[in-house]
Chain A
Amino acid sequence: MSELLEIAERIAGWAKAGEQVEAFVSRDDETEVRAYQGEVESLVRAQSQGVGVRVVVEGRQGYAYAGTLDDQALHDTLQEARDNATFAEPDAFNGLGEPDGVLVPDLNLFAEELAGYSIDDKVALAIELERATRAADPRISGIESAEYIDSVYESAVATSGGLSATTRETGCYVSAYALAESGDETQTGFGFSIGRHPGELDPVVAAADAAERATRLLGASKPPSERLTVVLDPWVTAQFLGIVGHTLTGEAVLKGRSLFAGREGEMVAHPSITLVDDPTNPAAFTASLVDGEGLATRRTSLLVDGQLTGYLHNSYSGRRSGTASTGSAVRGGFKSGPGVGARALSLVPGTASQAELIAGIDNGFLVQGVAGLHSGVNPVSGDFSTGAEGLRIRNGELAEPIREVTIASTVQRLLLDVLAIGGDLEWLPMSAAGVTLVVADVTMSGA
């Protein structure tokens, strides 16, 4: 048994009669190398670990955590969670995850290869990334950051009700932020490459992407406001889907904070839209064996041919909604209890390439990046407005760059006004996969 699971089970075993106890224990070993001007700017070796304990007594829930795993801290944390529970008000639906017989998917998220790479190898990757980014285009004038990061993550959950689960995963990436200059104008662009071990990383691709994104915005101007067709780059679509995913959680729905509350069975999106959350997909970097409450992850359909078919649940929202957990409990580390969230959202892709989709548009805007999406979205009303930059589309071709504009609509309108979905599905280091999305009649605000 892993050391972490042993600790989690020990704490769960301390539950008294009439008390439910859940312990979540995690450990994360990280190496982070940042390169600048051919040298190591910083090298961080970080190991963090900790425990979070949830106690439910007579429907009252309390939580406590500690950033250490020594025996005294474990006892103190349980005691503190018990004390916290006495001040909460009861809710009959409170409780821990319950075994539901769903099998843990057969996924290997741990690459033994990572251990074979020395610090020197990792330093070399970061330096190569920085060099390749500078060399990618003569207009690259500087590097804001070029880094290599890896992590070996391990966690365990055990409950007094008999759930017991562990995960172990590795991940690494290189990412570069490039500065491009022309005259006295500067633009920026990023690129990355991600994998489970360094052998899967391609710093040259990351460098080329960063350089291309930065240089293609040089000379950008701010056009007058108008309504037009927008083409969302996969990276942008993924961020947008992340917002949609949040509004489809049982937690948001139950608390009246979702624009989709009470709309199950309705057509809420264009019939071409099918959206699933599938953390069992091995292609997703965010794939996971178990959720934050120790239940097996599983595939959940949210929108099928435009129709809202269901929500994501953890055990609390599942019970309270009269259904069951979809294995969608997520945690932001050991310092907080399980909420509800998507892990690996994706749209069922179409077949056309981005270039083919653009070829059919007379007047449009290819949005390559958005800024302030989170501050500009109201998940309750669905209103959103976000800063955007990218390229104009004229007569089926990419034209001049655009910057300092916003695009605005509502989440509801955007899902209904989808004209086409690309065939270029791409898994990204976030809770949703990217794909090119073409949306009609969006307001672009500029000069």
Chain B
Amino acid sequence: MLDQDLISETLTSALRTGGDFAEVFVEDKRSSSALFDDGRVEELTSGRDRGAGIRVVVGDTTGFAHTADLSADGLRTAAEAAAGAARGGGGGTRVVAIGAPAQDVTASARILPETVAKATKVGLLTLANEAARSAGSVISQVSARYGDSRRRILVANSDGLMAQDDQVRTLFSISCVASGDTGLQTGRESTGRTVGFELFDETDVEEMGRRAAQRAITKLSARPAPSGSMPVVVGPGGGGVLFHEACGHGLEADLVGKAASVFAGRVGEQVASPLVTLIDDGTMAGEWGHFAIDDEGRPAGHNVLIENGVLTDYMWDLLRARKEGRISSGNGRRQSYQHLPMVRMTNTYITAGDEDPAAIIADTASGVYVAQLGGGQVNTATGDFVFGMTEAYLIEDGQITDPIREGNLIGNGPEVLTRIDRLGNDFAMGSPGTCGKDGQGVPVGDGTPTLRVTSLTVGGTAG
């Protein structure tokens, strides 16, 4: 993507006034999307973003600047701006030599998005719409989106590292509105993987359309959600966001380092039920949060965070790891070349238990069954978190009964982790997500087997 000599020169410029560490991150990203809405293919959008972000670290201070100008002049100007921002002082010339040239990478995607005709992409939308509409006349609106991106990155730093990656992601989602006597309800279905157009060899968009429509139709007969504390059973793949919020963010080393996490200083302690083994794994090929190298050039890792309930480690980026004299866990990510990297999750999941999921439900006298959780949010310092239930049902006398309307669940991370008392043998990954932190969004995956939390607060309106 960039000539090796030019990269060496840029890093040398970045360190001209001193500095402990310098890094160049080059990104070339092409995206395209197509939207079907309101009965027709509404719009196709495509675009390209290309540039470099340069960071210089002096002591505890980081300076950062970026440029869309990848010429020698453009890069030098950005390098000097980053160095100035870090206020190098010191002085002296340090020449940066790249250890070994970056190996050429080939995208793991089999069918690159740019090789697929736009008409073929658009055709998927029409198919999904027709299938959703055929689910019933109560379906009053259908919106479907196809999206793909190809992101090529190159990272080089003053330690001599130089690495590249070619990341292809493909996404398809459909959402339906059903109209009935009780008002309007929505149902959604989405899939996203770090693969190319071959996603659709394994994904039936018509089936997705039917499922989304059925969700909306089912909710037309939904009762108001109950309110108060009760047992909650979360279905396979539906509850990853629970762990993402309940403890994932609190295990990010940048928040831990500022004591802004309830999990700070607790490595080695029993923080969860012995059933819980939590893993963050960027190496899971094809999953939405997968990559070969993170945005600091470190290979993706398979990191065990909680093992049989005991906190084993946090997630690390380069900066936080350097401070602690250890290596990064491959969790340094950024939204684009315009952003500083920080500690982020990749694919975060709870390993499967050994119980029959049906038995978990049968043993729950009353409570709520959540098939799909929506987005969530956590305050890492207190551990309090919330997330929405997008598809949920009542459990009455050990049986899943009526659907319930949308509501939030609220809980406290450290408390909820200790209250997981049943774990199914039916592990599944959930829907693709975008995790937001400090205004930066990155793609993340999550997964869980069926599990039960003995007590969570359901925020409905029914008594």
Contact = CB atoms under 8 A, between A and B. Distances in A.
Interface in A2-50: 36-37, 39-50
A443 B375 contact: no
A44 B340 contact: yes
A224 B463 CA distance: 12
12 contacts: A42-B340, A45-B63, A46-B66, A50-B49, A84-B118, A87-B122, A88-B42, A255-B141, A372-B375, A381-B183, A404-B411, A445-B460
A372 B179 contact: no
Interface stretch (B155-163, B224-232, B277-285, B353-361): B224-232
A182 interface: no
A408 interface: yes
Contacts of B40: 88-91
Contact of B459 (A374, A380, A385): A385
Given A44-B65, A62-B43, A87-B122, A405 B457 contact: yes
Report, nearest first, the 10 A-B pairs whose CB atoms are least far apart: A406-B459, A387-B386, A372-B386, A375-B388, A445-B227, A375-B375, A65-B47, A84-B44, A67-B49, A89-B40
Contact of B68 (A49, A89, A337): A49
Contacts of A89: 40-42
Contacts of A85: 44
B179 A256 contact: yes
Contacts of B438: 145
A372 B376 contact: yes
Interface residues of B, number: 80
A200 B119 CA distance: 53
Contact of A404 (B84, B376, B381, B410): B410
A43 B87 CA distance: 10
A447 interface: yes
Given A41-B60, A87-B122, A380 B260 contact: no
B459 A386 contact: yes
B177 A39 contact: no
A386 B386 contact: yes
Nearest to A255: B38
A343 interface: no
B401 interface: no
A42 B388 contact: no
Nearest to A181: B259
Interface centre among A68, A142, A378 (most CB of B within 10 A): A378
Given A84-B46, A380-B185, A381-B183, A222 B34 contact: no
Contacts of A50: 49
B151 interface: no
Say whether chain A's binding surface is mostly helix, strand, loop, or mixed. Answer: strand
B177 A409 contact: no
B381 A42 contact: no
B382 A188 contact: yes
B225 A385 contact: yes
A256 B65 contact: no
A405 B405 contact: no
Contacts of B60: 36-37, 39, 41
B381 A48 contact: no
A222 B383 CA distance: 14
A67 B73 CA distance: 18
A37 B229 CA distance: 40
B115 interface: no
Interface in B36-65: 37-38, 40-51, 59-65
B387 interface: yes
B85 interface: yes
B108 interface: no
A427 interface: no
A224 B406 CA distance: 21
A173 interface: no
Contact of B81 (A42, A45, A141, A187): A45
B273 interface: no
Say whether chain B's binding surface is mostly helix, strand, loop, or mixed. Answer: strand
A336 B387 CA distance: 28
Contacts of A80: 46-47
B28 to A, nearest CB: 10
Contacts of A177: 260
Given A42-B340, A45-B85, A256-B179, A387 B410 contact: yes
A106 B131 CA distance: 52
Contacts of B118: 83-84, 87
B184 interface: yes
B379 interface: yes
Interface in A177-207: 177, 179, 186-188
Given A375-B388, A408-B459, 9 more contacts: A68-B50, A85-B44, A188-B381, A256-B141, A337-B45, A372-B377, A375-B377, A385-B459, A408-B225
A257 interface: yes
B408 A375 contact: yes
B1 to A, nearest CB: 15
A380 B62 CA distance: 45
Interface in B363-390: 374-377, 379, 381-382, 384-388
Given A36-B258, A383-B407, A42 B64 contact: yes
B199 interface: no
A375 B42 contact: no
A143 interface: yes
Contacts of B457: 222, 404-406, 445-447
Contacts of B185: 378, 380-381
B10 interface: no
Contacts of A404: 384, 410-412, 457
A331 interface: no
A85 B40 CA distance: 13
B137 to A, nearest CB: 14
B62 A43 contact: yes
A298 interface: no
Given A371-B386, A372-B377, A386-B386, A43 B412 contact: no
B399 interface: no
B384 A46 contact: no
B122 to A, nearest CB: 5
Contact of A40 (B37, B61, B374): B61
A213 B280 CA distance: 34
B386 A376 contact: yes
Interface string B400-439: 0000011110111000000000000000000000000010
A447 B227 CA distance: 9
A99 to B, nearest CB: 24
Interface in B12-45: 34, 37-38, 40-45
A42 B461 contact: no
B440 interface: no
Contacts of B382: 186-188, 403
A267 B268 CA distance: 60
Given A144-B258, A385-B406, A179 B381 contact: yes
A84 B229 CA distance: 51
A407 B68 contact: no
Interface string A42-84: 1111111110100000000111111110000100010010011
